[in-house]
Amino acid sequence: YYRIIIICLIAPIYKLNLTDPIWETKCQHTLPTAVRLLSASGKMNYLTEDKTHLVDHHPFIVLCPTMANVVSSFPLLRLPEKALTKTLQCMTAIDRFGISWCSRRTNQIIVDMKMKACSLRVDITRFILITCYFRDDNKIELSIIPESIPRHFVGLPIKVRVNEGNCDEEEEVRPVHWYLRADDVRTVIAHCLEVYHKSQLSFVSFLDRADMFPIDYLRQTFNGFNAVDHSILMDRAEDPQFAHQVVRLDIPAKKFNASAFIFENTESLHKVLIQNYDSISLQEPLIRNQRLIVDDLLMTNSAHIEIEDALISDKDLNRFIKHWIRGSNSRMKYILLTRRGDVGFNKDTIFKGIAHQEFEEGVVREVKVTCFLGFRTIIVPSGFNFTRNDHTEATIRIKNRRGRAALEFITLLDLGNRKSTYST
């Protein structure tokens, strides 16, 4: 029964002018012309003798010009409920996404299908890229170029390019894309969150060339949205003032990742460090002509901390460990500091005046820690153990290699009332 209905919806080959966008809309819920929504399945391009493209394609539906017609004349919506659901399930992700933009009713139909994206990412670079990732390695990408953003005219729609892809590089997939018009980027993000049942964005990343977009527009776009991972990874040669403004957007997130020179001053840095991030990853120097000191580490209220090109001195690390032993940074579980060049970490300076004991040979421990990818297990085959006043045990591992050095500070477990046997 369903097969017969689907066959009735299939149309023959159409001759199309591919110089025009496949799908253009003046706003989110209206369509100016009758256009066909093309499915990715069975799509092949041919050239006739006059160089006109032919698309061998079997579109499911013919979109209608007005929202009123979407309800009354939309062929797909005249199907019985079960047949409609089966038909939508047979479509590609990009087709279902397109249908969700036709009207409020079609949007609700797609929402009721309870489709879920495993990740929803927003990257701001020389264009804004919104990517929805699915478990079958497929993805939908929505891109907006700066020229589409109205800078002097409020209320003008923006043009959004929609295309699908496959995360599996070994599988060749013919690109399919079309265009839609939306009120603004915020509307597109909210629509993706609703359709794919996401309560927050998975990633928000500000990358090179992000300063092509007005900071006020970006502030308006992300106001009220939360993210799991917030990254500011801009080229240090770009305008530092824009990076400082991006920091002040204060996008709520669980994880924070930042490149060098993005902070304007110590106050700006500390405002970020005191946030209750699960993970924070930084690259020194965070402030131009200034390096981290022990006070900066003491301000950090994250469970997982990574600092690349760490410029903090070994004496400050010694002071930090002593503060930790007395009870500071109780939320911290893991620190990774790395240095480039031939300047390594000096064990004697770091542990001066601290009771500690070297790992026994042959003892290997595994510790599960929070990281930017969720959780990971760290193998601890060596190191120097010490305890804090509440009997929590920790270990520090030092690796000094040519051209690169690393120090790991790992909180292990609560030893209860066991007395420390470590010596200075």
Indicate the angle between helix axes 2-9 and 81-90, nearest 10 degrees.
60
Which residues partner with 257 through β-bridges?
231, 281
pLDDT tens string 375-414: 677 778 888 999 999 999 999 999 999 889 999 999 986 4
Mean pLDDT of 48-64: 36
Among 188, 136, 183, smallest CA distance to 162 is for 188
Question: Is the Cβ–Cβ distance between 55 and 13 less than 8 Å?
Answer: yes
Q: Is residue 191 within 8 Å of 98, Cβ to Cβ?
A: no
pTM above 0.85, yes or no: no
End-to-end CA distance of the chain: 81
Q: Label residue 2 by pLDDT band (50, 70, 90).
A: very low
Rounded CA-CA distance 13/254 in Å is 50
Dihedral, CA atoms, 182, 183, 188, 193, nearest 10 degrees? -130
332-360 residue pLDDT tens: 999 999 998 888 999 999 999 999 998 87
Average predicted confidence (pLDDT) for the chain: 79
Beta bridge partners of 45: 55
State yes or no: pLDDT of 152 exceeds 70. no
What is the mean pLDDT of the segment spanning 253-281? Answer: 91
Please state whether beta strands 201-206 and 334-340 pair in parallel, antiparallel, or not at all (unpaired): unpaired
Of all residues in the chain, the percent with pLDDT exceeding 90 is: 49
Structure confidence at residue 194 (pLDDT)? 97
- For residue 281, pLDDT beyond 80: yes
Q: What is the mean pLDDT of residues 314-322?
A: 97
Handedness of CA 105, 106, 109, 111 (dihedral sign): negative
Do residues 30 and 66 make contact, with C-beta atoms less than 8 angstroms apart?
Answer: yes
pLDDT for res 205: 97
Gap between the Cα atoms of 319 and 224, Å rounded: 39
**Residues making up the chain, counted from first to last:** 424
Sheet holding 44-47, edge to edge: 14-15, 53-56, 44-47
Reported confidence tier of residue 369, pLDDT bands at 50, 70, 90 = confident
Most confident of 21-25, 78-82, 294-298: 294-298
Interval 186-225: pLDDT, tens: 999 999 999 999 999 999 999 999 999 999 999 999 999 9
102-113 pLDDT per residue, tens: 888 889 999 999
Give the per-residue pLDDT at 108.
Answer: 92
Alpha-carbon distance values, 9 to 19, 43, 59, 107 (Å): 26, 16, 8, 20
Answer yes or no: is pLDDT of 51 > 80: no
Does 375 or 417 have the greater pLDDT score?
Answer: 375
Residue type, 54: L
**Using one digit for the tens of pLDDT, what is the confidence trace for 233-261?**
987 666 788 999 999 999 999 999 998 78
Asked which of 259-263, 270-274, 322-326, 382-386 is least confident by mean pLDDT, the reply is 259-263
Q: For residues 279 and 255, is the Cβ–Cβ distance under 8 A?
A: yes
- Both tokens of 179, joined, read 């265009």
SS (H, E, C) the chain: CHHHHHHHHCCCCEECCCCCCCCCCCECCECCCCCEECCCCCCEEEECCCCCEEEECCCCEECCCCHHHHHHCCHHHHCCHHHHHHHHHHCCHHHHHHHHCCCHHHHHHHHHCCCCCCEEEEEECCCEEEEEECCCCEEEEEEECHHHCCCCCCCCCEEEEEEEEECCCCCCCCCEEEEEEECCHHHHHHHHHHHCCCCCEEEEEECCCHHHCCHHHHHHHHCCCCEEEEEECCCCCCCHHHHHHHHCCCCCEEEEEECCCCCCCHHHHHHHHCCCCCEEEEECCCECCECCCHHHHHHCCCCEEEEECCCCCHHHHHHHHHHHHCCCCCCCCEEEEEEECCCCCCHHHHCCCCCEEECCCCCCEEEEEEECCEEEEEEECCCEEEECCCCEEEEEEEEEECCEEEEEEEEEEECCCCCCCCEC
- Report the distance separating Cα 242 and Cα 64, nearest Å: 44
- Among 78-87, 169-178, 225-234, 236-245, the minimum mean pLDDT is found in 169-178
In the structure encoding, which two tokens stand for residue 371, read together? Answer: 């990281």
Cα gap 335→105, rounded to integer Å = 50
The residues with which 384 forms a beta bridge, in sequence order, are 358, 396
**What pLDDT is recorded for position 55?**
37
Residue 287 sits at φ, ψ, to 5 deg, of -120, 135
Token pair listed for 414: 């609560």
Contact call for residues 334 and 303 (beta carbons, < 8 A): yes
Amino acid in the structure at residue 45: N
Phi, psi of 45 (to 5 degrees): -105, 140
